[in-house]
């Protein structure tokens, strides 16, 4: 499960992408997206620190996308907020760590299986951008059947 925080971050970015150059103030995002205002502020600061959004302070300030929407991937947002996408530390790109109790990484059956899971998750998350998510369902979706029902 992805965290609530990550969901909020993605929702905020989708809203900012829709707003375009006009940008949005935190209160507005919080209200329309049903995100606790103060929590959202922290999230936007995180997104700002890594250069995904920027902000203007003071009256008529607000938040704006800094990177173009088609250059912000779900993967990078998730890694920022929730940490590694990989299901095992020994499969993480951004935070590789040997499993402390693992004899041989080469021969680890569990690692071998989850490597596939990690790869296919990355295939989706690192290729899908905020802009992609905003385009109408039919367009970028070859697998539309998976998307509308609880499978």
**Helix (H) or strand (E) run with residue 62 in it:** strand 62-65
Q: Which among DNA, a second copy, none contacts residue 89 (Cβ within 5 to 8 A by kind)? A: a second copy
By CB under 7 A, tell whether 85 contacts DNA. no
138 near DNA (CB under 7 A) = no
**Residues of this chain, 53-72, that bind a second copy according to CB under 8 A:** none
User: Inter-axis angle of helices 74-82 and 4-19, to 10 degrees?
Assistant: 140
Contact 15, 32 (CB under 8 A): yes
Eight-state DSSP code of residue 58: S
| Partner from a second copy, DNA, none contacting 38, C-beta within 5 to 8 A by type | DNA
Residue 31 half-sphere exposure toward CB, CA atoms < 13 A: 5
- In the list DNA, a second copy, none, the entry touching 64 (Cβ below 5 to 8 angstroms by class) is none
Instruction: Give ∠ CA 2-81-112 in degrees, rounded to 5.
Output: 60
Q: How far apart are CA 148 and CA 135, in angstroms?
A: 16
**Should residue 44 be labelled a site residue for DNA when binding is judged by CB under 7 A?**
yes
Please report, as ranges, the residues that interact with DNA according to CB under 7 A: 3-5, 24-27, 36-39, 41-42, 44-45, 48, 55-63, 82
Binding site for a second copy (CB under 8 A): 1-2, 7, 10-11, 14, 34-35, 74, 84, 86-93, 96, 99, 101, 106, 109-125, 128, 132-134, 137, 141, 143, 146-148, 150-151
């Amino acid at each position: 499960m992805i965290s609530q925080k990550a969901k909020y971050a993605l929702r905020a970015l989708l809203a900012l992408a829709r707003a375009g150059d006009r940008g949005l103030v935190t209160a507005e995002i919080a209200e329309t997206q049903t995100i606790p205002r103060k929590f959202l502020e922290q999230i936007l600061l995180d997104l700002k620190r890594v250069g995904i959004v920027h902000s203007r302070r003071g009256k008529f300030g607000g938040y704006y996308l800094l990177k173009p929407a088609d250059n912000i991937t779900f993967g990078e947002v998730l890694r920022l907020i929730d940490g590694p996408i990989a299901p095992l530390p020994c499969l993480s790109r951004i935070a590789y760590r040997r499993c402390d109790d693992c004899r041989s990484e080469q021969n680890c059956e569990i690692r071998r299986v989850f490597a596939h899971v990690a790869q296919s998750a990355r295939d989706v998350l690192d290729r899908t951008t905020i802009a992609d998510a905003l385009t109408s369902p039919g367009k970028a979706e070859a697998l539309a059947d998976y998307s509308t029902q609880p499978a």
